[in-house]
Amino acid sequence: MTTDRKHRCGGILREQEVFIRDEVDRIVMVYRVPGLVCDRCGDELIDRDTMVALEKSQTPTVIWDKPATSQLEIPIFPESASTVAAAA
């Protein structure tokens, strides 16, 4: 027989998958990891080793694709009809 683990609020911690959201600049990474969820207050806990593994992992879950039109290909200033007329 196993005893239930108690949370600080008095609830019971149940094993469940927990979503971790990590946002760096404009890239959002979401992980689904094993954890504990309190049945009373809903607090989510994960193991320290799991958190260390996530912090060490630098592999993005989303790969950004190059846009079809690069901004560098769009001229900032349209070319004038005649450079001679502009110099005169």
Mean of all residue pLDDT scores within the chain: 75
Which residue is it, tokens 């060490």? 56
The pTM of the full predicted model, rounded to 2 decimals, is 0.54
Alpha helices (H) in the chain, listed in sequence order = 48-56, 83-87
C-alpha gyration radius of the chain: 27
Dump pLDDT digits (tens) for 54-79.
Answer: 887 765 555 555 555 555 555 555 56
Q: How many CB atoms lie within 10 A of CB 35?
A: 19
Domains of the chain, with CATH numbers?
5-87 (3.10.20)
Confidence category of residue 1, pLDDT binned at 50, 70, 90: very low
Amino acid in position 51: M
